[in-house]
Amino acid sequence: MNNFFDERKAKLEIYQKNYRGKKEEVEKLTIPDDIFIKCPHCQGLVIKDDYELKFRVCPKCQYHERLNPRERIEISCDSFEELYSDMKSVNPLDFPGYPEKLAGYRDETGEEEACVTGIGTLGEYRIALAVLNSFFMMGSMGSVVGEKITRLVEKALSERMPLLIFSASGGARMQEGIFSLMQMAKTAAALKKFSDAGLLYISVLTNPTTGGVLASFAFLGDVIIAEPGALIGFAGKRVIQQTIKQELPPNFQSAEFQLEKGFVDMVVSRGRLREVILRLLRLHEVEKWKRN
């Protein structure tokens, strides 16, 4: 019996020695922490540089991570001049806690509101560009988002520029109540004028585009593009489930679902987006920008 324990003890010592030795070796070859990152969707390890180079699209599962407006602008434009950047939300309903909530998001994101607007250049073209920020109160549309979009549409109309909007929104800004609702009518009315003037509006729906934003300017594009896998729908899945008391189909309200049902023109992966937008500008014979 003693023999048995001695044998085990000896084995354990050898094992520990080897194990420790190996561990030390591994430590010598330590890879810096930031070479790999985990895909937020499939949890797979992917090389960070590769991931960033592919504009935050997972090379394994093709998951398109949400981008903030600055990142989006950087990968979409060659240059960008921001407009209406100092527009701030107020509290029209005196809604309890709203100013504090806004302040929190301002600190967190470094942005004044949930939408960045301005004029960008893309290749040989000059475009009016708006990008919604899903990191700022879920990209919800209050007075500021509605006003910025409307002003941009009006500017694009008066300067006869094409319009490009990247939407990402949970829908209405609840805390602004009826004012939020009226932004739907306001943006849609401006786009009607814009459309009647024969100008091009490309709408890109990114994850997620829902509710009042989808049911107004996002779905009014001449060409509507969606990013793969984006959630795109009007009513919340939970609300629908509660209403119909049934499980929802697996791809329900996805970009691919909207393509199948005929509500978007194409699903385009982020890496190809710039090329597709440039081609659409060419096909619409949009006037090229002449530098002065």
Partner 1 sequence: MEKKLEDIVWEKVQLARHNKRPTARTLINYLFSEFTELHGDRLYADDRSILAGIAFLEATPVTVIAQEKGVSTKEKIEHNFGMPHPEGYRKALRLMKQAEKFKRPIILIIDTPGAYPGVGAEERGQASAIAVNLAEMAGLRVPMLAIVLGEGGSGGALAIGVADETWMFENAIYAILSPEGFASILYKDVFLAKYAASVMKLTADDLHSFGIVDLIVPEVEGGLHLNAEYSFSFLKERLIEKVAELKAADMDELLAKRYLKFRKMGAYEEKSR
Q: Which is nearer to partner 1, 76 or 89 (CB)?
A: 89
Q: How far is the CB of 207 from partner 1 (least distance, A)?
A: 15
User: Least CB distance from residue 258 to partner 1, whole Å?
Assistant: 8
**77: Cβ–Cβ under 8 A, 6 or more apart, which residues?**
120, 121, 122, 127, 129
Q: Please report, for residues 81, 84, 166, the alpha-carbon distance to residue 87 in angstroms, rounded to integers and kept in the order given.
A: 15, 6, 19
> Please, what is the Cα angle at 268 between 61 and 262, to 5 degrees?
110
Output the smallest distance, CB 265 to partner 1, in A.
12
The identity of residue 246, as a single letter, is: Q
Q: Which is nearer to partner 1, 42 or 239 (CB)?
A: 239
**Could you tell me the smallest distance in angstroms from the CB atom of residue 102 to partner 1?**
11
**90 vs 276, which CB is nearer to partner 1?**
90
258 vs 145, 209, 228, 239, CA distance in Å? 25, 12, 11, 19
Pick between residue 121 and residue 241 the one whose CB is nearest to partner 1.
Answer: 241
| Residue (63 or 95) nearer to partner 1, CB | 95
The residues of the shown chain that bind partner 1, judged by CB under 8 A, are 84, 86-90, 92-93, 95-96, 142-144, 146-147, 150, 172, 174-186, 188-193, 195-196, 211-212, 214-220, 233-236, 239-240, 243-244, 246, 248-249, 252-253, 261-263
Residues 6+ apart with CB under 8 A from 25: none
Nearer of residues 181 and 278 to partner 1, judged by Cβ: 181
Quote the least distance from Cβ 246 to partner 1, whole Å: 8
DSSP 159-218: TT--EEEEEEE-SB-GGGHHHHHHHHHHHHHHHHHHHHTT--EEEEEEEEEEHHHHTTGG
Q: What are phi and psi of 208, to 5 degrees?
A: -100, 150
Give dist(CA 214, CA 194) in Å, integer.
18
In the complex, minimum distance from the CB of residue 63 to partner 1, in angstroms, rounded to a whole number: 23
